[in-house]
């Protein structure tokens, strides 16, 4: 039986395609093996172009992507390592993804640290978020992300980007609920944003976590003074009371509290606060002047 010419043509084409595919993979494998020999010899820079070529020739060559990424890791080129390792992870059989995930996590951590040291906090945070997607609950990733978010929040606050700072501090608290610096930073950000009550709630939480921190008293005094000048007298009273609880002998806190009570029309408590100042320092001119002013107006 004679085979039709059209069928023979199709068979010939299929054979040619098969041969081309075999030749293509053979070339890719040759490049990979050259790269692997250099990699095993510690010549990681020289190995890179061979792995890259192998992956270019055969786009589904998982091992080529894997060792290209590993070569970059050995060279501390963390950011360069991410793309090929991601590709290898996507191509790998399920039973080998765990090993590749470890390499990819190393790349994310290295890239994050690299960006953090340059002050590129947002980039650092983005890499760490990716690492948490790959390995949810990773203690190292959470720790590093907390550190980056805190630094980013502090920088945003100093740059006057208050809303972004609030967001960064809140995310930090979600990751690390007992973090003093996150609550303290959030309190200051909320204060600058005019959210008096929320700022007080945040600083109370900071006090609960670390009541011995020396910055707390100074911050509460500045809160009280600003609340008082803005006419937020109840908030000022709360801030000064918190400052006195931290440091009962703080004259400025008691004087501030006396002024706040006085402005609120509460002469009895204002008088008690002034007398408390005079117990601490009987020679306080500020207390005597305030007491005289109160007596005249009463």
- Cα–Cα distance between 229 and 252 in angstroms, integer? 15
pLDDT reported for residue 278: 87
- Cα–Cα distance between 114 and 98 in angstroms, integer? 24
Nearest alpha carbon to residue 106 among 126, 128, 133, 91: 128
pLDDT in tens, the chain (298 residues): 455 555 445 544 444 444 444 566 678 899 999 999 999 999 999 999 999 999 999 999 999 999 999 999 999 999 999 999 999 999 998 888 889 999 999 999 999 999 999 999 999 999 999 999 999 988 999 999 999 999 999 999 999 999 999 999 999 999 999 999 999 999 999 999 999 999 999 999 999 999 999 899 999 999 999 999 999 999 999 999 999 999 999 999 999 999 999 889 898 898 898 888 888 888 888 878 777 777 766 6
Cβ atoms within 10 Å, residue 187: 26
Residue that the structure tokens 């590129």 belong to:
120
Question: Are 51 and 64 spatial neighbours (Cβ–Cβ below 8 Å)?
Answer: yes
What separation, in Å, do the N-terminal and C-terminal C-alpha atoms of the chain show?
124
pLDDT reported for residue 288: 82
Contacts of 131 (CB under 8 A, 6+ apart): 105, 108, 109, 112, 138, 141
pLDDT reported for residue 15: 46
Cα angle, residue 150 at apex, residues 240 and 173 outer, rounded to 5°: 70
- Cα–Cα distance between 193 and 268 in angstroms, integer? 33
Nearest alpha carbon to residue 291 among 247, 244, 259, 243: 259
pLDDT reported for residue 131: 94
Torsion sign (Cα): 236, 242, 246, 247 = positive
Among left, alpha and beta (phi > 0; psi -120 to 50; other), residue 195 is: beta
pLDDT reported for residue 5: 55
Residue that the structure tokens 């908030």 belong to:
235
pLDDT reported for residue 59: 93
pLDDT reported for residue 3: 52
Nearest alpha carbon to residue 56 among 65, 45, 47: 65
- Classify burial at 20, counting beta carbons within 10 Å of its beta carbon; exposed 0-12, middle 13-18, buried 19 or more: exposed
- Cα–Cα distance between 51 and 80 in angstroms, integer? 13
pLDDT reported for residue 225: 95
- Classify burial at 2, counting beta carbons within 10 Å of its beta carbon; exposed 0-12, middle 13-18, buried 19 or more: exposed
Domain spans of the chain, in order of start: 214-298
Residue that the structure tokens 């008691």 belong to:
254
Which fold does the domain 214-298 belong to in CATH?
1.25.40
Q: Where are the beta strands (DSSP E) in the chain?
A: none
């Amino acid at each position: 039986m004679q085979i039709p010419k059209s069928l023979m043509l199709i068979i010939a084409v299929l054979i040619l395609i098969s041969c081309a595919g075999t030749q293509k993979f053979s070339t890719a494998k040759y490049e990979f093996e050259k790269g692997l020999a250099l990699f095993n010899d510690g010549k990681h820079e020289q190995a890179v172009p061979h792995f890259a070529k192998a992956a270019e020739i055969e786009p589904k060559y998982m091992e080529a992507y894997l060792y290209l990424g590993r070569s970059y890791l050995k060279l501390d080129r963390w950011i360069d390592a991410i793309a090929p390792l991601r590709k290898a992870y996507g191509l790998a059989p399920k039973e080998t993804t765990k090993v590749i995930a470890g390499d990819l996590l190393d790349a994310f951590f290295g890239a994050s640290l690299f960006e953090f040291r340059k002050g590129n906090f947002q980039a650092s945070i983005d890499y760490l978020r990716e690492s948490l997607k790959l390995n949810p609950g990773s203690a190292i990733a959470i720790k590093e992300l907390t550190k980056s978010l805190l630094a980013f929040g502090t920088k945003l606050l100093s740059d006057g980007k208050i809303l972004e700072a609030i967001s960064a501090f809140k995310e930090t608290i979600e990751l690390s609920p007992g973090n003093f610096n996150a609550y303290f930073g959030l309190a200051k950000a909320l204060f600058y944003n005019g959210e008096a009550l929320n700022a007080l709630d945040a600083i109370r939480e900071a006090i609960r976590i670390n009541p011995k921190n020396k910055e707390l008293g100074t911050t509460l005094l500045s809160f009280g003074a600003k609340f008082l000048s803005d006419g937020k007298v109840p908030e000022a009273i709360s801030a000064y009371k918190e400052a006195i609880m931290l440091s009962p002998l703080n004259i400025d806190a008691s004087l501030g509290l006396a002024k706040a009570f006085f402005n609120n029309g509460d002469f009895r408590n204002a008088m008690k606060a002034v007398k408390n100042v005079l117990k601490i320092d009987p020679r306080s001119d500020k207390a005597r002047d305030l007491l005289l002013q109160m007596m005249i107006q009463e």
